[in-house]
Structure 1
């Protein structure tokens, strides 16, 4: 019809208050097609540069610039994962996170419940032939689409699962805590070394933007060196039949489950290893939930630099997860530090004659997507993960020292990891800003 309004690029640009000549638009399109940087990047259409779609910063100086446009890899190039264990963490957090990943994709499942696995496979588009039972490691080995296995089973079977995955020639991402003991952790590292596969422990907070920001602030010296650190992770726990309250499956109570975030968080923040530990453990004698594992743990870590960290964890308190760094020039406080979402970073410091309390707001990112993508990149580029098996092993050693200090009531001296030198001795290379 003659009265139809046909929308085109030119029509849309004119409607927005700008008229673009055909030559200018064609030039912009040639820049996009060639992938070469032009004198300017088209404001609203962007341009292909360095294998990415690039847009100029359209915001004014008063606003923070937008994040780079996402650049996911084509599905065929992404690292294929099999998730082992379809419990609450897998179904509520890990599987949905693959929808936000840029280097990783879900290609297989392993579960002890065929009915549940079949339904989950249908929900996530996993092929029927890529659904395995816990004894099907030989079948999994034959699936060339699987490059990595993500172990999300109870702590006490991590060693068995990791060894089986390594034996199948697959790289392994293992949930924390790494194992039920330091002996098992060492065996897991050895199994992956023999098989020539990568091993990473899923310390999601080390990939989360707010926790990384606190680490950068603490190490920068902007407000002086940290002197004291407080870390707390607590929640209430019901359902006495859950596996986390069974010592044979969990290896402990609040400490290895949620207290580990305090321990690992402080270590990652400083990059140092503690040399002295004091601790107390308590469980209410009249609560049957805690017949086998502890309810609450308080432990103090002393570091060679003189920093002291007070850490507390409990299964018997209202949910709270906080990390605070105290330095001469500022207090740095991260609320919801170890939660899946909702982190809030506040820095309190002197500003002339005033006291300034700044909230620093960052772009939220899915922690599980960040960690599966990081491991995928390490596989693709043959890199050591930021949180390798040695990182998990050190936490197992320190948790055993915490239990020993609580049992004896005396401080426990801790030797540095073998071959440790400098900061981050148990970690891989620093993360890129883009990760």
Structure 2
């Protein structure tokens, strides 16, 4: 069995190891589900730092459990298999995981590999007859995203994207307030998403693996958040890029991009995506009769929010636990989420990302 590092090198890319993340800062007390409810059996693909967070969160899931593992590193398969009680017959590498089609212990594959690998991994999982949960961004191009959507439709399986914030209670309350007219007509949104990135050799700074830079990672929170907070799709975009470290942020890897949206209603948005500034995790939504501010808006927790009426008090949850349980209900029960998380949602983010990059390149307003 070849290691993940070897596998990636064969594809002409560098190691895809994800950085470890810190401990949970919040708690979650789920209600026990009825014993007769089905449980979604999930194989995790790409055993890096974020997969570890997902696996730990899934210990508290009532509708889902980890039953399979996919990695190019034999040591990880052995270690994770023992840790999460996954038998050896349910452990796969990147070369042989297509055989999961014959494994009744696995219903879905959660793709948590680097961005450029999502396309291949999603299509292969779909052809194996398994539902797919794919981390964001869904792909590195609109073309790839469309092929993923079509492959899952053809296979008759769900394609969901890991938009955990679309299940987060403070976010849902903010969207409810906007939908019910408590803010009046929406006029403006601001989304700030950024942090100072560390190791210059990590996959997120490799264009072949990431498909770009900050915009393809942290910036997607501002893009996606703008869409569900405003409640409209943008009809045009303008954008400007700033790069202060061309050694760390090579050609095709953006450091900081400021971008603006316009909407059919007349609302506008101003957003920032960066790998060179900390403490940027804020949403602000302005309406004729009120506002909502979220800060932190998308971090792992706890999320904090307030409006012109005061604090928004919503349950503090482990995002990934809620996300996977809700996705299990979508797949197993046909539940309709309050805010969609399907492949079409991911595809629209990719269209917007491509338009932002085009606006940076041309200096022009790009219609959407």
TM-score normalised per structure 1: 0.75
Contact 1:198 1:384 (8 Å CA) reproduced: no
The yes-or-no answer on 1:133 pairing with 2:93 is yes
Unaligned runs of 5+ in 1: 1-66, 350-357, 415-435
Q: Distance in 2 between matches of 1:285 and 1:82?
A: 39
Cα–Cα, structure 1 residues 73 and 290, in superposed 2: closer, same or farther, change >3 Å? farther
After superposition, what is the alpha-carbon deviation per residue over 1:244-287, rounded to whole angstroms, capped at 9, x for unaligned? Answer: 10111111101110111101111112331111111011211454
Q: Which residue of 2 aligns with 1:21?
A: none
Report which stretch shifted further, 182-191 or 337-346: 337-346
- Which residue of 2 is the match for residue 404 of structure 1? 358
CA distance in 1, matches of 2:195, 2:363: 25
Structure 1 residues 394-418: Cα deviation after superposition (integer angstroms, max 9, x where no partner)? 110111001111111110111xxxx
Aligned to 2:60: 100
- What residue in structure 1 maps to residue 107 of structure 2? 147
Alpha-carbon deviation of 1:223?
Answer: 2.9
Q: Secondary structure at the match of 2:277?
A: strand
Decide whether the 8 Å contact of 2:240 with 2:359 is kept in 1.
Answer: yes
Q: 8 Å contact 1:284–1:290 — kept in the other structure? A: no
From 332, 335, 338, give the equivalent of 1:380.
332
For 1:144 and 1:362, locate their aligned partners in 2 and report how far apart those are by CA, in whole Å: 38
Shift of the 69–133 alpha-carbon distance from structure 1 to 2, 3 Å rule, reads closer
CA distance in 2, matches of 1:317, 1:404: 23
Determine whether 1:303 maps to 2:287: no
Provide the C-alpha distance between the structure 1 equivalents of 2:132 and 2:235, rounded to a whole number of angstroms: 30
Q: Identify which of 147, 150, 155 aligns with 1:187.
A: 147
How many angstroms does 1:291 deviate by? 4.3
> What pairs up with 1:317-396 in 2 under 5 angstroms?
317-348=277-308, 358-383=310-335, 386-396=340-350
How far is the alpha carbon of 1:69 from its aligned partner?
7.2
Partner of 2:3: none
- Residue 305 of structure 1 and its aligned partner are, at CA, apart by 0.8
Q: How much has 1:90 moved relative to structure 2?
A: 0.5
- Which aligned pairs between 1:258-277 and structure 2 lie closer than 5 A? 258-277=218-237
The answer for the alignment partner of 1:71 in structure 2 is 32
Partner SS, residue 232 of structure 1:
strand
In 2, Cα distance between the equivalents of 1:365 and 1:261?
Answer: 19
Contact 1:236 1:319 in 2 (8 A): no
Given the alignment of the two structures, is residue 253 of structure 1 paired with residue 213 of structure 2, yes or no? Answer: yes
Distance 1:383 1:313 in 2: 33
Partner Cα distance (2:255, 2:100) in 1: 39
Structure 1 residue 71, shift from structure 2 partner: 2.3
Number of residue equivalences: 339
- Alpha-carbon contact 2:182-2:290 (below 8 Å) kept: no
Relative to structure 2, which stretch is displaced further, 381-390 or 102-111?
A: 381-390
Q: Report deviation, 1:73.
A: 4.7
Alignment check: 8 A CA contact 2:30 2:60 kept: no
SS of 2:308's equivalent?
strand
Whole-Å separation in 2 of the counterparts to 1:98 and 1:271: 30
Determine the C-alpha separation between the residues in 2 that align with 1:389 and 1:115.
33
Question: What is the deviation of 1:68?
Answer: 9.8
Deviation at 1:359, TM superposition (A): 1.4
CA contact (8 A) 2:294 2:305 kept: yes
- Secondary structure, in 3 states, of the residue corresponding to 1:322? strand
How much has 1:74 moved relative to structure 2?
4.0
Aligned residue for 1:309, secondary structure, equals strand
* Structure 1 pair 288–120 and aligned structure 2 pair: CA distance change class (3 A): same
Alpha-carbon distance in structure 2 between the residues aligned to 1:242 and 1:301:
31
Q: Deviation string for 1:347-406 (max 9, x for gaps)?
A: 125xxxxxxxx1122111121112211221122124566211110011101110011111
**TM-score, normalised to structure 2's length?**
0.88
Between the aligned partners of 1:177 and 1:267, the Cα distance in structure 2 is 15
Q: Over aligned residues, Cα RMSD in angstroms?
A: 1.8
1:193-239 Cα distance to aligned partner (Å, 9 max, x none):
11111111111111111111111112221131221111001100010
Distance 1:302 1:239, change over 3 A: same
Q: Is the 8 A contact 1:219 1:270 kept in 2?
A: no
1:103-132 per-position Cα deviation (integer Å, ceiling 9, x unaligned): 111101000101012101111111122111
